[in-house]
Amino acid sequence: MLDYDYTIGRDKPSVAGIVAPTSGNKFEKFFYGPDEIMVPLYKSTGDAVSEQPQADVLLNFASFRTAYDVTMEALELGDQFKTIMITAEGIPERLARKMNQAARDAGVTVIGPATVGAIAPGAFKIANIGGTIENIVNSKLHRAGSCGLVTRSGGLFNELSNIIAINADGIAEGVAIGGDRFVGSVFIDNLLRMEKNPDVKYMILLGEVGGTEEYKVIEAVKDGRIKKPIIAWCIGTIAKHFSSGVQFGHAGASANADAETAAAKNKAMAEAGIHVPASFNDLPATIAEVYNDLKAQGIIGEIEEPELKIVPKVRRPKQFICTISDDRGEEATYAGFPISSVATPDTGKGIGDVISLLWFKKQYPKWATEFIETVIKTVADHGPAVSGAHNAKVTARAGKSVVEALVTGLLTIGPRFGGAIDGAAKYFKYADDNDLTPAEFLSYMKSEGVPIPGIGHRIKSLKNPDLRVTGLMNFAAEHFPATPLLDYARTVEALTTSKKENLILNVDGTIGILMVDMWRALGYSEEEINEFIESGTLNAFFIVGRSIGFIGHVLDEKRLAMPMYRHPMDDILYDVPKAEPIA
C-alpha cells in the first residue's frame, strides 16, 4: 500500500496505524519510496482510534476465527469507520449475517468477507489488490479512468483491470465483493454508489452462477436508478452441462434454481438493455465498443497521464533511528529548531527550552521551562560531604581528568542518592491515584517497609522551613495552572509533621511531586507520566543539575592541588577475625 501511495504521489501514506494486539513494539519501520517511515502499532482498535481519529477505513485481516469479533468491536466504537474491508474466508454464516446487518444498521460499508479488496485508482488501494507496481502501472491502476468495476472474484478483478486498460482507459473505482455466500455489500450496493460518482462513466459487472444479486441490478436499470451503461457477464455457463453436485467456483456460487444459472442471468440482463457479450472471450470487444461510443459522444474525455514516482528496486533498511535532532542540513537542529534559533539570549530561550526540545520533543510553555531551570539550579550542589561529591573529589585528587572524576561522582546516583525525587513522585502519585487518605498512605508505606521518600530533613521543620522548598512551592502556586499532587502531598505533610516536626516535605519530594503536576498541566496522560517515572526521566534532571556541582568540586580540587587521598586509619573500625577453613 505504501509503495502505491508513493508511486501515485500521495501527500502522506494511506496507513495511519496497525492494530497488532500481540506485538510488544510501539511502531514498525516500512519503506515509503526510498526512505523508511515508522508506522505506529496499537494493542487494540480502540487505542488506534483514539490516537488516529482521522482514520475512517478499517482493513480487517484477522482469520475466520476472530474476524467477526474484530468487526463488531470496530462497529461498537461508534461513528469512526465509514468502510470496513474483511479478507477472511470461512467466517461462519450466521456470524457473517449478523456482522453485515450490524454494519448496514450503522451505515458502514463492508467490503467482503473473502475478498482481496478494492481500489480507487489515484487515491487509495487496499492491500494486495492489483498486485505488483509493474502490474498496477500496466493496468493503469495508478490514476482514475472512467470505468466502475464490480466482481465477485479477486483474481478476475485483476484480470478485468488489465482488459479495461487495454480496451478502454482504466477504472475510476473497483470492488471485489468477495466469494462467500453472505457478503457485506453486494453488486447493487456498489453499482448505486458508482452511479452517483461523476468520475464513473460506465460500469462493468462480472457476475457468477448462483444467487440472485444480478436481478437487483436489472431492477435498478429498469426503474431508472441506474442510467449509466453497464457491461455485464456471468461466469459459470459451464454449470448448465452438469445436473448436480459439481461445485463450480466460490462458496457463494451454486444455482439452486433455473433463475440462478449464468445463462438465465445473462439473458435477463441483455433483455434489460445491459451490454452482455456472447461469451467471456468477447468481453474485451464489448468493452471497447461501449468505451469508444462514449468517447465519440464526448462523455469520456482524454485522461491526463500523471507523472509517476518510481519506487527504487533496491532499498536497505536503516539500523539506527533518531527522532530528536538532525545534523544533516546547513545547521544542526534541536527537534526541528536550528541551534542558532535557541542559543543566544536574544532568542528568549533558556536551558529549560533546550531540555524540553531535546528530551520531550515539545516546546514547553515559559512557566514549565522556568520551573525546569529552577530545579536544575536547586539541585546543582549540596556540599562536599555527600557521597557523589566526595567520590568526585577523591578521584580528582588521584590526578584523573574532569570527565573521569565527574563520572565517579555520577555513579553514586541511584536509589539512595538523588533517588528520592523518583521515589516521591512514584509513591505520592500512587497514593493519590488510588485515593488513599494520608493515614492510609502512611500505613501502606509502613507495610511496604519503606520510609516515605520526599519526607523528612535533618534540621529543617515547619518552624524552620527549607527556603528551597518554599521557593518551589510559591513558584508553582503562582505559575502552574494547577498543583493537585502537591495539594495532596501537603495533606500528607500535615499528618507526618504532627508526629514529628522535621517530617516535612523536603526538596527532593517537592521537586518530584511538582514534576508530576507540571506534566499533568501540560496534558500528558497518566500512562505517559508513569512511563517518565519508570524510565528515570526525573533522575535525569538530578543528574544534569548535580553535574554542575560535581564539576565544581573537581575543579576546586585541581585548583587546590591536594595530594592523593588516603582515609585516616584511626577513622576505621577494624574487626578482622581469622578465616576459618570449611571442612
Partner 1 sequence: MAQKAIREYDGKAIFAKHWNEYFDGFHYGFKSVLVTSGDELREKAKEHGFEWLTQEPLVAKPDMLFGKRGKNDLVLFRVEKPGDVTLEDAAKWIDEKQSHDVTLLSGEKGHLTHFIVEPFTPHTQEQEYYISATTVGEDDVLYMSAEGGMEVEEGWDEKVNEVHIPINMPDADMEKMVKSHIPADIPDENKAAFASFAIQFFKFYRDMNFAYLEINPIVMLDGGEMAILDLVARLDDTAGFMMKDAWGDIEFPTPFGMEDMSEEEKAIAEADSKSGASLKLTILNPMGRIWTMVAGGGASVVYADTIADFAGVEDLANYGEYSGGPTTGETKFYAETIFDLMTRYDDPRGKVLIIGGAIANFTDVAKTFTGIIQAFEDYAEKLKSHKTKIYVRRGGPNYEKGLKDIKAAADRLGLDIEVYGPETHVTDIVRMALEK
Provide the annotated active-site residues.
250
CA 450 from centroid of its chain's CA atoms = 38
Q: Which letter, b or e, does each residue of 231-266 get, where b requires 16 or more Cβ atoms within 10 Å of its Cβ?
A: bbbbbbbebeeeeeeeebbbbbbbbeeeebbbebbb
Cα angle, residue 350 at apex, residues 347 and 356 outer, rounded to 5°: 110
Pairing state between β 337-338 and 333-334: antiparallel
DSSP structure class, residue 414: B
Pairing state between β 18-19 and 35-42: parallel
Span from 92-100, 362-370, 424-432, 575-583 in contact with partner 1 (CB under 8 A) = 92-100
- Supply the minimum distance, in Å, between the C-beta of residue 93 and partner 1: 5
- In the complex with partner 1, the residue whose CB is nearer, 93 or 534, is 93
Kindly tell me which residue out of 22, 54, 281, 447 binds partner 1, with binding defined by CB under 8 A: 281
Q: What is the per-residue binding string for partner 1 in 249-278, x denoting contact by CB under 8 A?
A: xxx-x--------x----------------
Name the residue among 346, 368, 340, 338 with its Cα closest to residue 355.
Answer: 368
CB 399 within 8 A of CB 463: no
| Whole-Å CA distances, 205 to 132, 286, 411 | 24, 13, 73
Kindly tell me which residue out of 140, 143, 152, 349 binds partner 1, with binding defined by CB under 8 A: 152
CB 380 within 8 A of CB 546: yes
Q: Is 92 an interacting residue with respect to partner 1 (CB under 8 A)? A: yes
- Supply the minimum distance, in Å, between the C-beta of residue 270 and partner 1: 16
- In the complex with partner 1, the residue whose CB is nearer, 96 or 354, is 96
Cα angle, residue 51 at apex, residues 48 and 54 outer, rounded to 5°: 90
**Residue 332 region by backbone torsions, left for phi larger than 0, else alpha for psi between -120 and 50, else beta:** beta
Kindly tell me which residue out of 23, 25, 44, 247 binds partner 1, with binding defined by CB under 8 A: 247
Calpha distance 423→64 (Å, rounded): 48
What would the grid cell of residue 433 be?
A: 491515584
DSSP structure class, residue 239: G
- In the complex with partner 1, the residue whose CB is nearer, 238 or 562, is 238
Q: What is the per-residue binding string for partner 1 in 124-143, x denoting contact by CB under 8 A?
A: ----xxxxx--x--xx----
Calpha distance 58→53 (Å, rounded): 12
Kindly tell me which residue out of 40, 46, 284, 552 binds partner 1, with binding defined by CB under 8 A: 284
Number of residues engaging partner 1 in binding (CB under 8 A): 60
Kindly tell me which residue out of 29, 94, 318, 446 binds partner 1, with binding defined by CB under 8 A: 94
Calpha distance 238→576 (Å, rounded): 100
- In the complex with partner 1, the residue whose CB is nearer, 95 or 380, is 95
Calpha distance 173→185 (Å, rounded): 15
Q: Is 98 an interacting residue with respect to partner 1 (CB under 8 A)? A: yes
CB 439 within 8 A of CB 482: no
Kindly tell me which residue out of 42, 182, 291, 441 binds partner 1, with binding defined by CB under 8 A: 182
Q: Which of residues 35-74 bind partner 1 (CB under 8 A)?
A: 64-65
Q: How many residues does the chain have?
A: 583
The owner of cell 495552572 is 481
- Supply the minimum distance, in Å, between the C-beta of residue 245 and partner 1: 5
Kindly tell me which residue out of 236, 418, 423, 545 binds partner 1, with binding defined by CB under 8 A: 236
- In the complex with partner 1, the residue whose CB is nearer, 95 or 522, is 95
- Supply the minimum distance, in Å, between the C-beta of residue 95 and partner 1: 8
- In the complex with partner 1, the residue whose CB is nearer, 129 or 372, is 129
- Supply the minimum distance, in Å, between the C-beta of residue 224 and partner 1: 24
- In the complex with partner 1, the residue whose CB is nearer, 163 or 354, is 163
- Supply the minimum distance, in Å, between the C-beta of residue 236 and partner 1: 5
Calpha distance 352→122 (Å, rounded): 46
- Supply the minimum distance, in Å, between the C-beta of residue 413 and partner 1: 54
CB 27 within 8 A of CB 152: no
Pairing state between β 124-125 and 118-120: antiparallel
Kindly tell me which residue out of 23, 44, 246, 462 binds partner 1, with binding defined by CB under 8 A: 246
Kindly tell me which residue out of 26, 29, 82, 97 binds partner 1, with binding defined by CB under 8 A: 97
CB 146 within 8 A of CB 202: yes
Q: Is 163 an interacting residue with respect to partner 1 (CB under 8 A)? A: yes
- Supply the minimum distance, in Å, between the C-beta of residue 295 and partner 1: 22
- Supply the minimum distance, in Å, between the C-beta of residue 41 and partner 1: 22
- Supply the minimum distance, in Å, between the C-beta of residue 156 and partner 1: 4
CB 58 within 8 A of CB 45: yes
- In the complex with partner 1, the residue whose CB is nearer, 284 or 465, is 284
CB within 8 Å of 47: residues ≥ 6 apart: 19
- In the complex with partner 1, the residue whose CB is nearer, 47 or 159, is 159
- In the complex with partner 1, the residue whose CB is nearer, 276 or 518, is 276
Q: Is 421 helix (H, G, I), strand (E, B) or coil?
A: helix
Residues of this chain that bind partner 1 (CB under 8 A)? 64-65, 90-95, 97-98, 100-102, 105, 116, 128-132, 135, 138-139, 151-156, 158-159, 162-163, 179-182, 206, 208-209, 235-238, 241-242, 244-251, 253, 262, 279-281, 284
